[in-house]
Structure 1
Amino acid sequence: MTKTIQIETLDGNATFDAYVAEPVARPKAAIVVIQEIFGVNAGISSKCDRLAADGYLALAPDLFWPIAPGIQLDPDVPDQMQQALGLMGKFNQDAGIRDIEATIRAARRLLDDDGTGKVGVVGYCLGGRLAFMTAARTDVDASVGYYGVGIDGLLREAHAIANPVLLHIPEEDHFVDKAAQAAMHAGLDDHPKVTLYDYAGEDHGFATEFGARRSDAAAEQADARTAAFFADHLG
């Protein structure tokens, strides 16, 4: 079953929408799906639906609610891609992390009355970066980032990561150059909580659900690794 719910911000001064997909049986854990720069579009809701089919309560918060509430864009449409890049320039990432934390807290309450259920996050593109930031700044139980942009500039926060993190890195990512990838490995390969996987020949967006960016074999490999990671760390 799917629905849209309202989540209260941490300061209690506003609410924002989140798409929710519920499993048929009692959820084994919850996973917050963090959007790309295209909003909570069909691809992100499909990610939630697939997680629900695997037994998780899945929630995708509308992180662009302060600047473009409810926006849904298609990366394969050039004008919409430009619109998405413009929204990225206006987006407050620190505020986005606070909204992700509010969603994690809401997810824990939805799992059980005492709010102690396990919650993971998985993010794509902008969401991959935010997943890394969430791992460093919140008590989330497990985090996965696909082709996160600018993580090399966040390595100073790595010391704060206390729970497992998995990062998927396409080697031909046109938004994350070879120097940035090398910096990520240099800064994170020895971290006891972080695992990095490289994907030779793959570009940004290879694991999208729909559209021209998808690369089936690599997407299936990465998603299988993500599924095993969440099974290990969320139960």
Structure 2
Amino acid sequence: MGERVTIPALGGEGSFGAYVSTPDGKPKGAVVVIQEVFGINAGIRAKVDAWAAEGYYAIALDLFWRLEPGIELDPDVPEQFERALALIRRFNVDAAVRDIEATIRFAREAAGGRKVGVVGFCLGGRMAYLSATRTDADAAVGYYGAGIDAVLGEAHAIANPLLLHFAGEDHFVPAETVTTIRTALAANPHVTIEEYPGVDHGFATSFGKRRVEEAAQLADGRTIAFFERHLAS
């Protein structure tokens, strides 16, 4: 069972909440879970708890603390889905990267100086990519990150392992966009891209209408193995 903690923002901007789950015994490392546009809802908390069960100190930060701190939305409820889309239009990406960096530092200390990875979904998928270009995360994983194609100019800064998962039938990230991303990152030996035919955006959510069990288990298995190689080894 997890708990809530407070993390000081960089530059004295204030502080923000996070959900933490800890493993039994000494952690292998730390995993920062980056939310979708729906806040630290039950699905994201389940992701954090699952990483703790894998032996990692796991934490999810509240990316929306400057807008509506503590908000939790259900993507299967249309009105709440629309509310999430309205929030994203007011979202400050650069400030959020600083918050992720603050969380990485917090998690690294809490895990006894071990390596820290980040894993994000949807909005968090894009933020995981930006974590690979702008922070000192030891490894990063992004699930169906929308908007990565707009920040490919930062790809030269990727110096640690990055794994990107994309849905083959994603209505937010179409196939031609995935091709653009794949082409731009092809020369970087740190980057691995996996695609999942026939599934849509959100296929690896913890539960709900969007989840596709077989594809979710395949992607999550690859992510677990990726962090075992780059964080726990």
TM-score scaled by structure 2?
0.98
Aligned to 2:37: 37
Note closer, same or farther for the CA distance 1:136–1:215 as it changes in structure 2 (3 Å cut). Answer: same
AA partner of residue 170 (structure 1): A
- For the pair 1:46 / 2:43, whether they are aligned, the reply is no
Runs of 4+, deviation exceeding 3 Å: none
Aligned-partner SS, 1:11: helix
Aligned-residue CA RMSD (Å): 0.7
Partners of 1:78 and 1:15 in 2: CA distance? 31
Q: How does 1:14-25 map to 2 (within 5 A)?
A: 14-25=14-25
- For the pair 1:130 / 2:106, whether they are aligned, the reply is no
AA partner of residue 24 (structure 2): V
> Which of 142, 158, 162 is the equivalent residue of 2:159?
162
Q: Is the 8 A contact 1:132 1:143 kept in 2?
A: yes
Q: How does 1:142-161 map to 2 (within 5 A)?
A: 142-161=139-158
AA partner of residue 202 (structure 2): G
Shift of the alpha carbon at 1:189? 2.2
Partners of 2:187 and 2:21 in 1: CA distance? 36
Aligned-partner SS, 2:229: helix
Q: Is the 8 A contact 1:189 1:196 kept in 2?
A: no
Gaps of 5+ in 2: none
Partners of 1:177 and 1:53 in 2: CA distance? 34
Gaps of 5+ in 1: none
1:17-45 deviations in Å (ceiling 9; x for gaps): 00000001111100000000000000000
Aligned to 1:71: 71
Shift of the alpha carbon at 1:12? 2.3
> Which of 174, 177, 193 is the equivalent residue of 2:174?
177
Shift of the alpha carbon at 1:177? 1.4
Aligned positions, number: 232
Partners of 1:230 and 1:151 in 2: CA distance? 21
Partners of 1:211 and 1:54 in 2: CA distance? 23
- For the pair 1:81 / 2:78, whether they are aligned, the reply is no
Aligned to 2:231: 234
Partners of 2:111 and 2:75 in 1: CA distance? 33
Shift of the alpha carbon at 1:150? 1.1
AA partner of residue 38 (structure 2): F
Partners of 2:44 and 2:100 in 1: CA distance? 15
Q: How does 1:82-231 map to 2 (within 5 A)?
A: 82-112=82-112, 116-231=113-228
TM-score scaled by structure 1?
0.97
Aligned to 1:58: 58
1:144-180 deviations in Å (ceiling 9; x for gaps): 0000001111111110011000000111100011221
Aligned-partner SS, 1:55: coil
Q: Is the 8 A contact 1:146 1:168 kept in 2?
A: yes
Aligned to 2:27: 27
